[in-house]
Amino acid sequence: MNEIKNYGRKWLYWFFLGVAIIVVYKALDNFGDIMGVITKFFDIVTPFLVGIFISYLLYMPCKKIEETYAKSKLKFVASKCRSLSILTVYVIVVLLLIVLINFILPVVLESVTDLINNIQNYYEIAIDKYNNLPEDHILKGDMVNDMIQNIQNLNVKQYFELDKILAYVMSAIDAVTGIFDVFIAVIVSVYILAERTQILRFIRKMAEAVFKEKTYKSLGRYFNNSNEIFFKFVASQFLDAIIVGILVTIAMSIMGIKFAPLLGFLIGLFNMIPCIGAIIATVIAAIITLITGGVSQAIWMLIVVTILQQMDAHIINPKIIGQSLKISPLLVIFAITVGGAYFGILGMFLAVPVIAVVRILIEDYVDYKITMKKMTKFLENKEEIKGQIKLEK
């Protein structure tokens, strides 16, 4: 009887192995069709994913405003606190978009247009200044000369034609954010914000049903910590970028630097990438200022921007972010490098909160292993003591 069972098990094993091989072969043979189905699926669910992301960004403001409305003495406001908080947040978002589109974006686009229209002239001026340098100048090395020779005959402006850039941007916007997709994403985000309590309760019940109690509690703790880290980082970096961008734009405008709104916007935007972003943006701004305003203006710009960035690093940013994301600069640079290499700008931006979560996981794992070792050693010593007592008796 046992031999029949063993024979049956072997037959089933080889049968399922053969089926698995056939499935894998057919999957690889029709890889293009499978990828087409997967791509189409993600195209369909993209509005829902965008809606989830929007609701995630607006969750904390909605929660804070809802708590404020819930304390209101007006019965109608207190009873409808969630709906009113969602409405309030979306009104604020719409107003911010109106300010961005009508006031900030036109000024930045004007600077971009002016820069693109004159970039060939600025390029030629830079080449002339380089050619007029003394032969023993540090920049007159063979490597720099070779680089200049390679690009000297290029028409730089052809790579920065405004019509082409705007066409690419508009095509990307049309492809990614169609009117219907935006509408669906907003509706999804509203429903998620309105029903977030039920959604979170369902997720918790599912996790409690699937995992053991210890695992469930650990997952809940990690989820809460990760959510707090990600939201606090994204919101604080965005607010910090706005403040830095405004301060730099005002300072550059007072100094009479050309393209001040564009450079201020650039520095504020890159400031969202910790450590490296501010350096990259400042170098770009210094090069543009050097070409458009000369050495003296570029030096003063560097001094002023460096002072503002030090104020941000030691006063503004710590006040906004607090102490929760204090990570070693070496670890930050490593995370940004890896994130940028694999996922581009978005990877560089999200590298810090990701590494913060990974650090928590590693620290907890190390603490757990140390605790288990101490516990094992304690039990071994306890058993050894018991054995000695028995021998003495």
- Domain regions of the chain by residue span: 327-393
* In the predicted structure, residue 241 carries a pLDDT above the cut 60: yes
Tally: H helices and E strands in the chain? 15, 0
* In the predicted structure, residue 152 carries a pLDDT above the cut 70: no
Check residues 114 and 155 and name the one with the higher pLDDT: 114
8 A C-beta contact, residue 268 and residue 242:
yes
How far apart CA 170 and CA 275 sit, in angstroms, is: 31
**Res 2: pLDDT:** 53
Separation of CA 95 from chain center: 24
**Res 302: pLDDT:** 92
State residue 152 phi and psi, 5-degree precision. Answer: -65, -35
- For 150, the token pair is 């390679």
- What does the DSSP 8-state code read for residue 273? S
**Interval 61-89 mean pLDDT:** 90
**Res 359: pLDDT:** 83
**Res 303: pLDDT:** 93
Check residues 128 and 265 and name the one with the higher pLDDT: 265
Lowest mean pLDDT among 7-16, 198-207, 263-272: 7-16
What pTM did the predictor assign? 0.67
pLDDT in tens, 296-344: 898 999 999 999 988 887 777 777 665 556 677 777 778 888 887 887 7
* pLDDT range class, residue 158, cuts 50, 70, 90: low
**Interval 275-283 mean pLDDT:** 84
How far apart CA 314 and CA 308 sit, in angstroms, is: 10
pLDDT in tens, 162-203: 555 555 555 555 555 566 777 888 899 999 999 988 988 888
